[in-house]
Structure 1
Amino acid sequence: MATPLAPASLTEAVPLQGGVLIRPAAESDAEALAAAYRRSRDHLRPWEPRRPDSFFTTEGQRARLREQAAEQRAGRVAAWLLTDGEAVVGGLTLSNIVRGPFRNAHLGYWIAAGQLGRGLATAAVRAACQAADGELDLHRLQAGTLAHNTRSQRVLAKSGFERFGRAERYLHIDGAWRDHLLFHRVLNDRHPA
């Protein structure tokens, strides 16, 4: 699997692979992001919380991106989109960023319908790990997958994550509380600043 030429940047677009860029999400992405979610609605349904119809609109995504930007300014989130030309083909977010002695974040990602099997998720996760280590100075990332989501588990394993547990009825996904497998990756052992 190809490794990104450079880590994902918190401020600029970086080539990922196959003409796809990973770049910071911005409010101006609302229309393209809404279109990607509409195209992928059925594909993503089994893996995500139930979404109101407004989530799939430009205005719904604009509001979401504004909220995400505020969280990013506060240092609690880092969000990127994967783009192929003008089209959004995926997204990746580090959320619940915690500083101090923990220096940890939660990793979440999605790939649009029709884009699976290209190695985009693995390349994006690896790039985000580099940014989390280099630019955010985090010690550790963690992620959860539905217990039966073997594709996502393979992405995490190929990206250096190890399984460390199972959480019963962890998140409300597709209309029910679902069990998740928990993974983590230690990025470095630097002393917290």
Structure 2
Amino acid sequence: MNPHFPTHGIATERLILQAAQPSHAQALHTYLLQNRAYLRPWEPTRDDDFFALDAITQRLETMAEKTASGEALHLLIRRDGQIIGACNFTNIVRGAFQACHLGYALDESAQGQGLMHEALKAAIAYVFDAMKLHRIMANYRPENARSARLLERLGFEREGQARAYLKINGVWADHVLTSLINHAQSN
């Protein structure tokens, strides 16, 4: 099942989650530049080309296509009209698996206010209820205590640890593997 994401987005108490579109390029450009140094320890190495407006527009086009086809759900998180983060449900596999991977990032100035919890709670509800996925997997670096607490609050369970899992900031990094099961889809 691949329902179309609501054009108006998903509203929470303080946020709007919108499907990523090329029209968001300038706002996303601003967000990425403002958070470049802050997010560096948690992301793959990014060269200057990654932050170019045309490259951002191209990535947003690909994100919109993957969201439309049901391969992924790429959401931008807005507060007071500004992009303050993103959450992405990628590698969606149907059939017997019915699962995806979750990745997320939040503006440095928005940390510690419960905003990512609020955004992910709404996004996960959509992924489970509308998209009918059974399992969401989210992985984090062991030293990322903030992500560990967030995922635990959302009900994700630790499943193990993968050595040298992703190349983050130029170094192969271990990751803690977690998942959340849609108990409404357990049968």
TM range (shorter): over 0.9
Match of 1:15 in 2: 11
Shift of 1:114: 0.7
* Structure 1 contact 144–182 (Cα < 8 Å) conserved: yes
The aligned counterpart of 2:42 is: 47
Shift of 1:67: 1.0
Paired with 2:38 and 2:13, the residues of 1 have a C-alpha distance of 23
Q: Give the helix-richer structure, 1 or 2.
A: 2
Unaligned runs of 5+ in 2: none
TM-score, normalization: structure 2?
A: 0.93
- Tell me the matched-pair count: 183
**Which residue, 138, 145, 153 being the options, matches 1:158?**
153
Residue identity over aligned pairs, in percent, reads 33
Alpha-carbon distance in 1 for matches of 2:137, 2:80: 30
**In the alignment, which of 113, 118, 121 is matched to residue 113 of structure 2?**
118
Alignment of 1:114-193 (within 5 A): 114-190=109-185
Alignment RMSD (CA, Å): 1.5
TM-score, scaled to structure 1 = 0.90
Gaps of 5+ in 1: 1-8
Superposed CA offset, 1:9-30 (max 9, x none)? 8223222233x21121111000
Report the 3-state secondary structure (helix = DSSP H, G, I; strand = E; otherwise coil) of the residue aligned with 1:10.
coil
Q: Please give the alpha-carbon distance, in whole angstroms, between the structure 2 residues aligned to 1:177 and 1:89.
A: 27
Which secondary structure does the structure 2 equivalent of 1:180 belong to?
strand
Aligned to 1:40, the other structure's residue is in SS state helix
1:60 aligns with 2:55: yes
CA distance in 2, matches of 1:76, 1:22: 18
Q: After the TM superposition, which residues 54-133 of structure 1 pair with which residues of structure 2 at under 5 Å, given as runs?
A: 54-133=49-128
Asked whether the 8 Å contact 1:129–1:187 carries over to 2, the reply is no
